[in-house]
Every structure is written in structure tokens, then in C-alpha cells.
Amino acid sequence: MKVEKYLRHYLRCLLLVISVSASSTVFGFAQDGPFSNAREDKSRDSLAIVNAIQLSRDIHRSNHEPDTEYQEAEKAISLSIALGDTLLYAKALDNLGLIYRYHQRYEEAIPLHAKALELITKEDSSDMEKMIFANNAGVASRYAEDFDQAVYFYLEALKVAEAQNDLRNIAISCNGLGNTLLHLPGREEDALAYFERSLEAERERNNTLGIAMNYLSIGDYYTEKREFDTARSYLNKLLEINQARKDTFGLGITYEYFGQNYFQEGKDLQQAAAYFDQSKAFFEHLGDLHKQADIAKRQGDVYRKLGNLTKAIQLYHDAWKLAEKIKNKGLIKECSYWLSAIYEQQGKYRKALEFLTLSHQYKDSVALMDQQTQIAAIEKRYAIEKKESQIELLQKDKALQNSELESQRAALKSHQVIFILLATLLVFIVVIAFMQFKNIKAKKRANELLRRQNNQIKAQRDEIKNVNQQLEATFEELIQEQKNTEEKRIKLLESKFENRIQSLAIQSLESQMNPHFLFNGMNAVRWLVMKNKNEEAKEYIDTFARLLRMSLTNNRKKSITLDEELQSTALYLKIEQLRFDSEFNYHINISPKVNPKMVKVPPKILQPLVENAIKHGLLPSRKSPKTLDIKVNQTDDGVLVEVLDNGRGFSKSKESFIEPRPDGTHLGLKLIEERLVIFNQQHEGQVTFSIAPRNPHGDEVTGTSATIHIVLESALNTTS
């Protein structure tokens, strides 16, 4: 009876284990259910983002409700951040930037377009978006008058467009570059070249709207250059296109630019007024209050110059009323200023003071509005970045929870296997116990049970010991891995610190060379002016400005191409030749085997050599003719650049030619050696420098030879 009772007890335990295993299995599979709809949810969220973007633009086109437009655009950003889709997030940011730009909030638009471009920079499949985002960033920067930044973004868009041979975006980028460069002194010719390239692309596409835009830009370029007849020839072509297209807005713009052309020429102001009247009629037909206000102000300017002050006052007041409707404080400020000037001219000093006060008030208001816009832009960027951080933390928590859930599932499956094994083992024990209980006496059965229990306890102890040993080994491996990680991090920090020190050393050397360069340039201009050589002084200043611009650009780089260095050196030689009234001649010879655009050198490495050759070799010499040659030839392992002069040279018995003297002579050569040491530490290739007399074995020194040997990286790899 006792045996049967014991067996019944074990059978109940077995059934309980099996039921628990079955329940665990059922619940384990049930937890997989909620994840089956993840893909469907993601597709629905993506569609919601696209709809929010499109809705914000539709509202702007139809109802023009800024608050609702911003709300929908910001909703798209929030949804894209939560979804974690980089491309959709970039499109949402770019869309909000466009909404800001539509409302002249350019300072807020720029960082949004730039952020969108940054997000997809490394995406190979997003070339179209890269061009769109870069062009949008360029437009916003140009309208915000941040022209350097605008040029950067337009060039980024043009680079991608040229790689894809995308004529549409080539035309857009080139037109944007042209309009930007018009605002930079000395870059007007470059602007015209970009306009013409854009025009060529639009003609190839047979896009009449694009052709019209470029005719307008080129006409404005010639108007600003005061080549009014040439400008009008392009405006006539523009007029033909817009008449053929029946483009009301285009015709309004065309007549506006005709009026501005005649106004700036100043010969036929009545014609200018007539064109402005035609332009205003088109914009009144379109209901465009912004352009109506601009044209009314321009008409006021015309009649003010014609001396019809009554008509000018009326037009300025018309422009004032329209500007108040569209809340254009800048235009109100300008109208107030000119009304004040006219009333002062008429002797109505009280009114003049009143409008002058209003002008200053609106000027302060515009400045305050600009500050508020900048503050709003900063707050908007902060809000987006904060939201990104919050979403990132939520995603990390979600990933951690998923990881813990997976661990629990794995543990549950392991428990199921253990339970099944235990159940099988229990059945086996029950069967053996049943057979033994029936054939062996109670005492033997008790002893056998005791022995089995002792064996189980011993096995458990051994198992626990093995587990402890495994845990200790795992712990030691973790400690060693942590030590290795710390060592790698320390080495990385040391490497970054060393690179920073080397970069600062290069900047320090450049700061020593720039004052020397500027000092010589200013002395040269002063000398030419004192000699009354005005044309040479003008040419000298133009060349000096180009050289200075190139120097400022190159000094920001750790390395430049040999081609850029040779261009800079050629400008410097031209300056020196002007300065010394062609007392010497120079030649630059580049071997056809050498591609100087593929060779990297430190910036401003040749100029000190040329400067010393002229100052200490050619000018003190009595030889005629005096010549300076720069030769670039290929060698077995790289490129050899020689600076040769036929000046008085120097002998080996004299002091070192490279050591700087107390008066500062040869300081540039010493700095070259120091720059090369740092450059060689930071780059794979090696650049060496030497200087020696020409004809060193003869009795008479025939000049000086300065040599720069550039060992290319490919040669170093072959040697190693």
C-alpha cells in the first residue's frame, strides 16, 4: 500500500510538470502575436508623414494660413522622428524649411535645409534629394545674404547634378550661383559664366521658363554693369518668350526690369515710369500685393527724380498702405524715409520730422523682428534636437525591452526542455522504484534510497562547483576585455591629441608667414603710388587681391594641389615684376608627364623660395637679362620642383643660407623646413627641400638652385 501511495504521488508530480510545460509553451507562442502587424503600421506611418508634408504645401498655395502650415510641417517631423526613417525625416525638415522660406523667414530655413542634406549625405540612393536639399539651402542662404554659405550649397548641388548629368539641376544650381556671385565684389564675370551655362542647359532641355529666368538674370547683370543697351537686348528676348507663354507674372517681372533699366540709366525717366505702370497693371490683375507695393515704391522713386514731388508723395503713400497690409516693415521704413526727405525739401519740417521718426521706429522694429526670428530659429532647432534625443532614448528603451523579452523567451524554452527531461527522468525512477519495491525487502529498499539520495547530493555539489568555475572564467574574460577596451580608447585619445598639436603647429607657422606677405604687398603698392604709376598700381592691386584671396583660401587647408600652389606663385611673380618695373623675367615650365592637380603639397611652399631668389639673387645682381625659372619634372619616385635664378648666388663659405638672420632675412625658408616636418608627419608622401649654388664646382657662381622633391605615396608603397 505504501508503494502504491508513493507511486501515485510521483504520477501526480509528473502530470503537474507536463501541464506546466504545456501552459508555458502556449503562452510563449501567444506573445508573438502583436509583432505580426509591425510592417503594416510602418507603412501607415510613412503615408501619414507624406500626407502631412503635402497638406502643409497645399494650405500655403490655397488658404495661405501660416500657423496651420507650420503645424502640419512640424507634425511630419514628429512622425518621421518617431518612425526612425532617415529619408522621410530629411524630407520633413526640408519641407519645414520651405514653409519658412515662403514667409521670408530665411534664417530659420537655412539650418533645416542643411540638416536635411547632412542626414542623407552618405546615402547613395538619394542623389535627387541631395540636389533638392542643397539647392533649397542655397536659395535660403542667398536670400538671407549669407553669400559664402550659399555658394557652398549651390556647388554641392552642382557636383551631384554633374555626376548624374541632370540638366535640370545643373541649370538650377548654375543660375543660383550666378545670382549669388553678383553680390560678391570681383566675381561678376564668374556670375555671367554660370548664367550662360544655365542658359545652355535650359536650351538643351527646351525649357522656355528656365530660358526666360536666365535671360532675366543676364539682363540684370548688364544693367548693374551699366551696359544698358546690352541689358535691353536680353530683356527683349525675355519679353518675346513670356508673350508666347502668355505668362502674366513673367510679363509683370519683365516690364519691372525694363523700368529699372531705364531708371538706373537716368536718361529717359518717363519711359521708366511707363514700364512700371505696365508692370503694376499685371500684378494688380494677379492680386499680388507684394509686387504692387514694390512697384509703387519704384514709381515714387521715378517721380521724385523727375521733380514731380506731389505724384511721388502719392505713390509713396500707396506703397505704404500696401506694405501695411502685407506687414512689410522694411518697405514702410523706406517709404517713411523718402517722404521725410520730400517734406524737408518742401519746407514742411514738422511732417518731415514725423516721417523721419517713423522711419527710425520701423528700422528698430525690423532689427527687433530679425532678432526675434533668430531667437525663434534657435528655439526651433533646440526643440527638434530635444525631441530627437527623447525619441532616441525611447527607442533605446524599446530595444532593451525587446532584448529582455527575447532573453525571457530563450530562458522559457530552456525551461521547457529541462521540464521534459525531468519528467522523463521521473518516469524512469518511478518504474525502477516500482520493480525494486516489489522484490526487495523494506530495509534494502530504504538503504538503496539513502544511497541514491547521497549520490544525487554529491552530483549536485559537483555541478555547482563546475558552474562556479565557469562563472569565474567568464568574469576574468570580461575583466580582460574591459582592460583591452580602455587601452584602445586611451591610444585613440593620444592619437587625436597628437594630431591636434600638429594642426596647431601648422597654424602657428602660417601666422608667422602671413604678416611677412602682407607687409611686402603694402610696400609695393605704396612704392607704385609714390612713382605715380597709377595703371601699374591698379593692376598690382587687382593681382594682389586675387593672390590674397587665394592665400586666405589655401591657408585653411592642411594641403593643396601643386597646381594651386603654382597658380598662387605665378600671381606673386606677376606682382613682383610689376613692382620692380620688369627688371627680371620669369618662366614656369611643367613637364607633360606631370599632372600637378594630382600632387599634394603644403600651402605657400614655393612663394618664399621665389621671394628670396628675387630679393637676394636677382635684384642685387648686375647681370642682364635677369631670369627666374620654375621647372616641374617627373622623377622615378615622384615630382621634382626647381626654382632657378641667374643672380649673384652664394658661396659655401658663407653662413648657412637657410638660417634666419637677425633682421628677418630667410625666415620664410626656415618656416618651409618646419612646415615640411609637420606635413611629413601627417601625410603618407614625403616632401624634402634643399638649396644650393648653381655651378658649385666652378670658380664663378651662376645663381641659386632651390629644389623641392615630392616623393609620392605610390612610390613609398612600392618601396615598402
Identity of the amino acid at 627: T
Using pLDDT thresholds of 50, 70 and 90, give the confidence band for residue 451.
confident
Using pLDDT thresholds of 50, 70 and 90, give the confidence band for residue 700.
low
Confidence (pTM): 0.46
**How high is the pLDDT of residue 380?**
55
> Counting beta carbons within 10 angstroms of the beta carbon of residue 605, is it exposed (0 to 12), middle (13 to 18) or buried (19 or more)?
buried
**How high is the pLDDT of residue 585?**
92
Of the two residues 517 and 270, the one the predictor is more confident about is: 270
Cα(664)–Cα(657) distance, rounded to whole angstroms?
A: 12
Quick one: three-class SS letters along 125-152?
CCHHHHHHHHHHHHHHHHHCCCHHHHHH
Identity of the amino acid at 545: A
Whether the per-residue pLDDT at 339 is higher than 90: the answer is: no
Assign residue 307 a region (left: φ > 0; alpha: ψ between -120 and 50; beta: otherwise): left
Cβ-Cβ contacts under 8 Å for 161 (sequence gap 6 or more): 131, 169, 170, 172, 173
**How high is the pLDDT of residue 397?**
47
Domains in the chain, please, with CATH? 119-205 (1.25.40.10), 207-327 (1.25.40.10), 500-719 (3.30.565.10)
Give the range among 199-208, 412-421, 620-629 with minimum mean pLDDT. Answer: 412-421
Cα(664)–Cα(608) distance, rounded to whole angstroms?
A: 13
Tens of pLDDT along 118-173? 888 866 667 888 889 889 999 999 888 888 999 999 998 899 888 888 889 998 98
Tens of pLDDT along 588-628? 999 999 999 999 888 888 988 998 888 888 888 888 889 99
**How high is the pLDDT of residue 389?**
53
Q: What average pLDDT does this structure show over 413-425?
A: 82
Check whether the bond before 625 is cis (ω within 30° of 0): yes
Grid coordinates given for 361: 521706429
Smallest CA-to-CA distance from 273 within 230, 307, 227 is with 307
Using pLDDT thresholds of 50, 70 and 90, give the confidence band for residue 522.
confident
Cβ-Cβ contacts under 8 Å for 462 (sequence gap 6 or more): none
Cα(331)–Cα(680) distance, rounded to whole angstroms?
A: 58
Tens of pLDDT along 55-93? 888 888 787 788 888 888 888 888 888 888 888 888 899
Q: Are 72 and 52 in contact (CB under 8 A)?
A: yes
Residue 666, phi then psi, degrees to nearest 5: 65, 15
Cβ-Cβ contacts under 8 Å for 554 (sequence gap 6 or more): 560, 564, 565, 568, 603, 604
Instruction: Give the chain's end-to-end CA distance (angstroms, integer).
Output: 90
Quick one: three-class SS letters along 166-185?
CHHHHHHHHHHHHHHHCCCC
β-bridge pairing 560-561 and 600-601: antiparallel
Cα(498)–Cα(490) distance, rounded to whole angstroms?
A: 12
612-637 burial, b at 16+ Cβ within 10 Å, e below that, comes to bbbbbbbeebeeeebbbbbbbeeeeb
β-bridge pairing 627-634 and 585-590: parallel
Mean pLDDT (the chain) is 78
What proportion of the chain, given as a percentage, has pLDDT over 70?
Answer: 78
Grid coordinates given for 413: 524554452
